[in-house]
Chains A and B, each alone.
Chain A
């Protein structure tokens, strides 16, 4: 069963490659995501009952992988449910053709397959291959619209991410070198490395620094974050949702796995301070650029940098409470950001502009969309009952109980600045009277497509339910945190 999360999206990709974009195939993508989510939940239940499973030496699922599969499945469900509505509007507006739509769906399925492969990989080398493969698969999704800006974003995305991930490759090779000279003979097997001993500290230190920087680039952490706002703002809305909720999370999953190795070999200090510096730098960049932001898709992108920074801080703090909190945060952020990017894509189609001051009084014109976006922002800045509230509280509490108290206080200030900026910008777009005149509507707004509305409402509901009560999930989170804090 544990290879199904890779096989299902591959099957979906085959359908799009052979049949193309028809009335009948528009929903294949969503069906595959539903299958992926279902299998992920089944695997999680199985793991919670009977422990980790292995398959052929290259694939392994433990509680952490199972949880990440659920994140991938849940955000994919949300994004692929909204994708047909988005693509059909693009086709109607003449900005895409049936061929573009088919290629879009094909690449999205391949993207999901590589992400599933990354979290299932038992070996750091395979994990690296899967994460680098996503750069290649998503490059054309970012550049889908073929405008100047889209091509520029795709170019920056491939160059910065490939370079960052090349650093991670160097780190992987050096870690393999250290591990091959150590008595424990762990190779690059992640579980064996976590319990390894006798690795040369000098070589391991260089390897870990390169790995954190490299995978940090892909997770959108400073200093190699520059691709993120461009790629997220130029990609089609469902793809932005997937990148923010899935790609960044899975890249951060790699960092979590590496930190276990670092802690085992070098003690807790090294990776902790490196991650703390990256976290504060990301939070500072995000907060300062959110304040004067003029483009709402870029605003959401910088908010992703902010949230990943917070997650990195949680990882630096360490310990079961902080780890469980950041895992919940990854899921909550993925859902809220997915809702917001899908909403922003719809806003762009309605108004024809991605400038914040170009959108006014949305609540009066498109009440359902506007209330979903409004609730999404509230979920994102961490208002109860949404799960981001619970996870931020967990991170901050663990932070004040750790040696990183001052860093946590600084981070909290930056998070508040970012939240204020987000709320200010969004309320300006949603509230107030609707502008009149013909320029107000470009896309001749039809009603919000029902599946899209369903995806938005569903994402928000799940995010809220997770924040209030999720008995099964807390067991899984505890088991996953145990994997990382042995």
Chain B
């Protein structure tokens, strides 16, 4: 692969990551959000595949396949299963759409400012895309704290995790297959646990609006 094509493909995949993150922030229908999330999983897999084609390592190809299976296959399927009985829309987010998008812009600037030492350490097309990963992390965090439906919060957590995975691969420093496998398994199980808890929440108080969670506090 020539250098030009490589740079363009990395930027394209990075752009897709960022765009899907903003779309998740923008849309309210949970079904759409889950579909966009699956597209983001594909974008992340593509990013790793581009890196694999560049570095010519089997390990990265395996990771790319694993990412697509987990983040575009298994996790969206789990989310869809959890959604079957839940509300279809994020009804009352704490921040409206316009403010959310403005916040996304601010978070992007913040991410670029924070990541400067990360890029400066080893400038290359891959590391120059690290700020995109950090932006996705911050947007995920934002979704996590401003949404009230249980499922939206899970999506926020997964967005955060996609961003972290992107940063991990963009640093092009492998952590070893055992650790990588453990990390993916932990994410899958965490979402499984959250899905089961959502179902129990619905059984006990008939909804997954987290505003209902007001039992525990220090009076």
Contacts and interface: CB of A to CB of B under 8 A. Distances in A.
Nearest to B173: A180
Contacts of A126: 178-179, 182
Given A136-B186, A159-B157, A148 B176 contact: no
B61 interface: no
B157 A148 contact: no
Given A174-B118, A188-B179, A233-B216, A159 B194 contact: yes
Interface string A139-174: 110010011110111111011001100100110111
Contact of A173 (B114, B117, B141, B168): B168
A125 interface: yes
A404 to B, nearest CB: 28
B1 interface: no
Given A126-B178, A147-B204, A177 B197 contact: no
B109 interface: no
Interface residues of chain A: helix, strand, loop or mixed (majority): helix
Nearest to A161: B190
Contact of B137 (A158, A170, A233): A170
Contacts of A136: 186, 189-190, 193
Contacts of A139: 193, 197
Contacts of A431: none
A176 B175 contact: yes
* Interface core residue of B121, B157, B201, B216 (most chain A CB under 10 Å): B216
Contacts of A152: 213, 215-216
B197 A143 contact: yes
A162 B118 contact: no
B4 interface: no
A148 B120 contact: no
B167 A174 contact: yes
A58 interface: yes
Contacts of A292: 218
Interface string B158-184: 001100100110010101101100110
B175 A159 contact: no
Contact of B197 (A154, A169, A180): A154
Contacts of A203: 117-118, 121
Contacts of A172: 175
B175 A188 contact: yes
Contacts of A174: 118, 167, 171
Interface stretch (A95-103, A127-135, A333-341, A373-381): A127-135
Nearest to A127: B179
A53 interface: no
B200 interface: yes
Interface residues of chain B: helix, strand, loop or mixed (majority): helix
Given A149-B216, A155-B213, A159-B144, A177 B186 contact: no
Interface string B33-66: 0000000000000000000000000000000000
B135 interface: no
Contacts of A176: 171, 173, 175
B86 to A, nearest CB: 14
Contacts of B167: 170, 173-174
Contacts of A188: 175-176, 179
B170 to A, nearest CB: 9
Contacts of B161: 166
Nearest to B181: A129
B52 to A, nearest CB: 18
B2 interface: no
Contacts of B68: none
B182 A129 contact: yes
B213 A156 contact: yes
A234 B215 CA distance: 11
Nearest to B160: A166
A187 B174 CA distance: 9
B153 interface: yes
Contact of B218 (A58, A123, A229): A229
A148 B193 contact: no
Contacts of B196: 140
Contacts of A58: 178
A22 interface: no
A234 B216 contact: yes
A181 interface: yes
Contacts of A212: none
B122 interface: yes
B125 to A, nearest CB: 16
A178 interface: yes
A210 to B, nearest CB: 10
A206 B110 CA distance: 14
Contacts of B120: 202
A230 interface: yes
* Interface core residue of A152, A200, A205 (most chain B CB under 10 Å): A152
A166 B157 CA distance: 9
A155 B197 contact: yes
**What are the 6 A-B residue pairs with the smallest beta carbon separation, nearest first?**
A202-B117, A125-B179, A129-B182, A180-B173, A177-B171, A173-B168
10 contacts: A125-B175, A125-B183, A133-B189, A152-B216, A162-B190, A169-B183, A177-B171, A179-B173, A203-B118, A229-B216
Given A125-B182, A177-B171, 20 more contacts: A58-B178, A125-B175, A125-B176, A132-B190, A136-B189, A149-B215, A152-B213, A155-B213, A159-B153, A159-B194, A166-B161, A176-B171, A181-B121, A181-B122, A188-B176, A200-B117, A203-B121, A229-B216, A289-B218, A293-B218
